[in-house]
Amino acid sequence: MRKYRNAEIQEVTVQDKFLSPRMAANRQVTVPYSYKRCQETGRIDAFKLDWKEGMPNRPHIFWDSDVAKVLEGMAYVAAGKSDPELEKTADALIDLIVSAQQPDGYLNSYFSGIQPELRFKNLYTNHELYCAGHLIEAAVAYFQATGKRKLLDAMCRYADYIDSIFGPEENKLKGYCGHEEIELALVKLFRVTGNQRYLNLAKYFVDQRGQEPNYFLEENKRNKTGAYPERMIVFQAHKPVREQDKAEGHAVRAVYLYSAMADIAAETGDRSRLDACNKIWDNLTSKRMYVTGGIGSSRIEEVFTLDYHLPNDSAYAETCADIGLVMFASRMFNLTGDGKFMDVLERALYNGLLAGISLEGDKFFYANPLEVTGHFIEAGHVKAVRQPWFGCSCCPTNLCRFLPVMGSYLYSIGANELMINIYAAGEAEFNLGTGRVKLQVESSYPWDGDINIRLQEATTGKFTLGLRVPAWSPEITVKVNGQVSNNTTENGYVKISREWRKDDKIEIKLAMPVTALHCHPEVSYNSGRIALQRGPLVYCLESIDNKAPLGSIIIPEQQDFKLKAIDSITPGAIAITGSAFIENPEASADLYFSGIPAKAETTFTAIPYCLWQNRGPSEMAVWIRTV
């Protein structure tokens, strides 16, 4: 059922000035830094199972997931670039993790070392299967990167044990995890081992969710913790998945579930799951997604709330949720070939997701608001300043494993088709049809829309090359060996089928104007405001560039916006400048007053949202008043 697959890490070398430095910072800083923090906080030592009362760093129920994500990141780094020392560290960590496995196959540092009597007694909140999922993903990644099976074999034993506990058969638990993750991990395990048992278990966990009697409500009654039917929506357990048609509940859990639904649809050909994914997608992207690609509008339970409820200063838009949205979008594109999914993937990746980590790679946002005032900064609000670590450090560790695989989203490969999704500079080499295709992309994407592609090798004969036409570009010109291509656009891609040969050249020009975006009128927070976008990048104002309070700045949208370099943030970056007005603060000193506020002419500078707060604490706003 799946039309395409993502590129493999080893097939793509990213060499651009936008994504490549982020990947290098992850390799050189984020992964070793996060590993060190996992050591310092006791996350790694927890696998020794020797913690006693009175000792520091009492293990926590989700610590295994943090260690697993760092290990998965190490695997991807090793896959992209040989690093014997990194591999040695990873091997030692795997030895420690496997040493904590129980004779029956169970593997969880908290419940083996702290509360063994509570094993699988509280699926609602205890993250056991969630941790198992991340360990499985780390095992698959490390096996694929190195060929070493020690962790993979251990996780197969754990998955076999889980399968002996859960399922539709009599005397098995009818439960599923409060925080989805194991579902998509089991599909990965099935793909690498070919063992149908793991796919069946993934299907069971997905399909059992929300069925009656509701497992979480029954479990909470047994545990005497209170049974609250209205809270089932937070866990996507309010109804069976095929009946769900809105993005609901905890945003990260939701997109992990939807990713698993898409994976299972791809493996089984079950259109009912895909139909549900499409309905949820339409609701999510048309009514519940920020312009930055952020999702989850409330910090209370980190949830989606209501249609068009997208507040700016209190936006949660967790970094993990952006990562999950990219995962979901990629799966939906590979299932359908519809470019609308890639448009959202790019929006989330190039904006909200990369805003979650500093350029240096050692400071992080958990939440990604679209507005930060000076009052937030003065109060020391955690959302106003990137942090070096968190008690719940799911976001830093998730970035460890996501940033190394960004190149895999640039291309999708099908049956004699090669789709170029994002025009980042670099090289790629694929087995396609009866031969190989190797190409080089030269571009300054996303800073301009001029792209040159050269086929360095093409031994496969005739195949289809798909060139994405982003929704943000009003015009595209494609030339093949100097001749303008008149191929039509299909599902957001120009598709060219021909006998490709070595040294064939493709020139692409994407119009990349500055666009003033308006918001749906039901999003009351943005009434009378605009957001600026150029190419895939959403822009924002920072007070470091705009000395007036950002709320007093008014930008007329009918003007010729200018571009200027902002190498002070990162080489090659481009800002948007133009004319603006500022309200006279003296005329509005009172909280409420009559009359028309006096305005003075000024100028503004806007920078890409993904680069904000890389020059110190600053006010920030994406949506700006307009006339």
For the annotated catalytic residues, the residue numbers are: 302, 394
Q: What is the largest CA-CA distance in the chain?
A: 78
Handedness of CA 200, 201, 205, 208 (dihedral sign): positive
- Angle, helices 84-99/128-146, rounded to nearest 10 degrees: 140
Q: How far is the C-alpha of 619 from the C-alpha of 611, rounded, in Å?
A: 13
DSSP category for residue 289 = B
Burial class (CB within 10 angstroms; exposed 0-12, middle 13-18, buried 19+) of 171? exposed
If one counts every other C-beta atom within 10 angstroms of the C-beta of residue 585, the result is 12
Angle 583-584-586 (CA atoms, 0-180°, nearest 5)? 140
Q: Is 457 helix (H, G, I), strand (E, B) or coil?
A: strand
Q: Which residue has the tokens 């509940």?
A: 249
Residue 431 in tokens: 């087995």
Residue 266 in tokens: 């791809």
Q: How far is the C-alpha of 611 from the C-alpha of 360, rounded, in Å?
A: 11
Q: Which residue has the tokens 């805003």?
A: 355
Instruction: Write b or e for each residue in 148-162: b if 16 or more Cβ atoms lie within 10 A of its Cβ, otherwise e.
Output: beebbebbbbbbebb
DSSP category for residue 562 = E
Q: How far is the C-alpha of 526 from the C-alpha of 520, rounded, in Å?
A: 8
Of 504, 424, 455, the closest CA to residue 13 belongs to: 424
Helical segments of 81-127, H only: 84-99, 109-113
Instruction: Assess contact for 242 and 210: CB atoms under 8 A.
Output: no
Q: How far is the C-alpha of 523 from the C-alpha of 575, rounded, in Å?
A: 27
- Angle, helices 84-99/150-165, rounded to nearest 10 degrees: 30
- CA dihedral of 351, 352, 357, 359, whole degrees rounded to 10: 10
Q: In 331-475, where do the E strands start and end?
A: 371-372, 411-414, 417-420, 426-432, 435-443, 450-458, 462-468
Query: Which H or E run includes 605?
Result: strand 599-608
Q: How far is the C-alpha of 206 from the C-alpha of 203, rounded, in Å?
A: 5
Q: How far is the C-alpha of 328 from the C-alpha of 255, rounded, in Å?
A: 6
Instruction: Say if residue 549 is preceded by a cis peptide, omega within 30 of 0.
Output: no
Of 136, 120, 282, the closest CA to residue 202 belongs to: 136
List strands edge to edge, sheet with 435-443: 12-14, 426-432, 435-443, 450-458, 505-510, 476-480, 483-484
